[in-house]
Structure 1
Amino acid sequence: MREGAPDPELYDFTPYRARKPIVWPGGKKVAVWVSPNLEYYEIDPPANPHRKSWAKPHPDVVGYAHRDHANRVGHWRMADVMSKHGFKGSVSLSVALCQHHPDVVQDANARDWEFFSHGIYNTRYSYGMDEAQERAIIEDSIRTVREATGQTIRGWLAPALTHTPRTLDLIAEYGMDYTCDLYHDDQPFPVKVAKRRLLSIPYSLEVNDHYGFFIYNMSPRDYAQTLIRQYERLAAEESGTVMCIPLHSYLIGQPHRIGAFEEVLRHIAADAGEGGRAWITRAGDIADAWYASQQEDGQ
């Protein structure tokens, strides 16, 4: 990313209607992936001069305890509903969770969920980091997840969506295949990086449960209907789209919300069989399918 440029110069402009359609495995129209954010928030994190970790003065017991519901209760409720309907998670992981609450990470791994890094803690930001610090976080993420799960992470979602101008170049250099940090498209798109290659996998702020409940003040029913409308529109289009459902289990795993969310999973799963439009998958599988399609096209 060139500093001072009029745009980030990370990807080409290609109008949606001018693209060659993507055909997902089995001829499916929309790749659907669920991204549970398995996170750890520190009650009294080190101060970052660019942004406060908590809205209230530290230590914010209420903010910490609300989010701690995720690892104590919400994860298990959310994960069971996902497994019931055939959805495997692609986990946006605060890798410190591997030490703080290994039971949660082990449960996700046993369900054959994929892990990518969401930084060390969701209360420590990339703002102001020098290159050595940022490299240390990437290396720590790779090592910690491999030791805890046997998996080698292939993707990145910056902690609390905070970046430096070098973030995408660095994760590509370290062998990542995809980033979830760009929200510019409804299809995978190559990112311009200094070394190797990198693909932007569509994540979502618009249908993220954090935005749904905290920003847009949706009821559980409103949020569920939003997800169903999102799916139906993407599945009706001909170009081969991606729908991501980003979740935080301290929100979606609440008893009064989980039932409405299960209706969404039931709706999409009913359209995933033979002749259906949904490819229920994981982020890494989407990247593999996209890269394979480019090789077939000779690109």
Structure 2
Amino acid sequence: MIEGAADPGLYDFAPYRARPKITWPGGKTVAVWVAPNLEYYEIDPPNHPQRKAWARPHPDVVGYAHRDHSNRVSHWRMAEVMSKHGFPGSVSLSVALCQHHPEVVADANARGWEFFSHGIYNTRYAYAMDETQERAIIEDSIRTVRDATGQTIRGWLAPALTHTPRTLDLIAEYGLDYTCDLYHDDQAQPVKVGKGSLVSIPYSLEVNDHYGFFIYNMSPREYADTLIRQFERLAAEGEQSGTVMCIPLHAYLIGQPHRIGPFEEALRHIAADGRAWIARAGDIVDAWKGQQP
């Protein structure tokens, strides 16, 4: 036998067609949730020894200003289209946005959107953090979002998808009950943690607009068609056991004038289909938990 790295033991293996059946409200076959990343990027962040915050030397005016389009213009364009078609957001929030642009956070809150933490800044990475530093970020996230919105965060998406070996254990210890940091399944699944309990809700890299436009070089119509094909397949498979589809968004990408039209067509298709339970992340986690032994 060839020895390899140890299994990290984050979750048990569960074959797709050998699980207890999941059902969604109203007989829907796929739970669809939209995850707008409302973020703040520093123009001149502190250097990190393991990763550069910007591809260009910083201060990176171009990178900063491109992303700042989210908070000045494209959040509003994206949010209005979502609201028009009945899609609430579950916000992956750089919590520093509560101080930098509270108007954006207030708009999302007024729309009934849910908030979970995406760290403080998306230009600060968890690599090499000690436990005290990581606890401080979690505590800051809980306190800042509660003060700004009245909500107590339940979920976590690590800043810039960066982690330490203790991240999942710590967020569960602080009472958060879902993580978006595992991309291993199309259904909610339990995660093994030291204290408390934690659920992995399906997030997505494959239909994330960042991957669509920056990695896969899709056109706006190709991306919209990808969302529809993702939905159609998951809705069909969900007839056997309810599936989950996440649509992760960045307003400075999807909210550009030339992209928003095809995206709206995809939302219209999903909303009109009849098989989608359009929900927030916490609603999906609660429905899943209610069906566990």
Structure 2 equivalent of residue 226 of structure 1: 226
Q: CA deviation at 1:5?
A: 5.1
| Match of residue 123 from structure 1 | 123
What residue number does 1:263 align with? 265
In structure 2, give the amino acid aligned to 1:83. Answer: S
Unpaired stretches in structure 1, ≥5 consecutive residues: none
SS of 1:293's partner is coil
Q: CA deviation at 1:27?
A: 1.3
Look up the match of 1:153.
153
Per-residue displacement from partner, 1:158-192 (whole Å, max 9, x unpaired)? 00000000000000000001000000000000000
CA distance in 2, matches of 1:285, 1:131: 30
- Secondary structure of 1:270's counterpart equals helix
Matched, 1:200 2:204: no
Corresponding pairs, count: 288
Instruction: Say which SS state the counterpart of residue 291 (structure 2) adopts.
Output: helix
In 1, the alpha carbon distance for the partners of 2:33 and 2:219 equals 22
Q: Distance in 1 between matches of 2:152 and 2:31?
A: 22
* Partner SS state of residue 135, structure 1: helix
Please name the residue that 2:107 is paired with.
107
The list of structure 1 runs, each at least 4 consecutive aligned residues, that deviate by more than 4 angstroms after superposition, is none
CA distance in 1, matches of 2:230, 2:28: 16
* 5+ long unaligned stretches in structure 2: none
Report the RMSD for the aligned CA atoms in angstroms: 0.8
Q: Secondary structure at the match of 1:222?
A: helix
Distance 2:12 2:74 in 1: 40
Paired with 1:34 and 1:14, the residues of 2 have a C-alpha distance of 26
Identity %: 85
TM-score, normalised with respect to structure 2: 0.97
How far did residue 18 of structure 1 move? Answer: 1.1
What amino acid maps onto 2:291 in structure 1? S
Deviation at 1:206?
A: 0.1
Is 1:285 equivalent to 2:283 in the alignment?
yes
Question: 1:8 maps to which residue?
Answer: 8
**What is the distance in 2 between the residues matched to 1:231 and 1:128?**
38
Partners in 1 of 2:291 and 2:16 — Cα distance?
18
Distance in 2, Cα, partners of 1:212 & 1:21: 31
2: distance between equivalents of 1:27 and 1:164? 39
Matches within 5 A, 1:1-299: 6-237=6-237, 238-271=240-273, 276-294=274-292, 299=293
Higher deviation after alignment, 285-294 or 210-219: 285-294
**Residue aligned with 1:258, SS:** helix
State the distance in 2 between where 1:169 and 1:178 align.
11
Q: Distance in 2 between matches of 1:5 and 1:147?
A: 43
Shift of 1:7: 2.1
- SS of the equivalent of 1:142 reads helix
Partner SS for 1:92: strand
Look up the equivalent residue of 1:282 and give its one-letter code. R
The CA distance in 2 between the partners of 1:265 and 1:65, in whole Å, is 28
Cα shift at 1:29? 0.4
Deviation of 1:246 after TM superposition, in Å, equals 0.1
Show CA shifts across 1:113-139 (max 9, x none): 000000000000000100000000000
Partner of 1:36: helix, strand, or coil? strand
One-letter amino acid of the structure 2 residue matched with residue 248 of structure 1? H
C-alpha separation in 2, matches of 1:21 and 1:291: 13
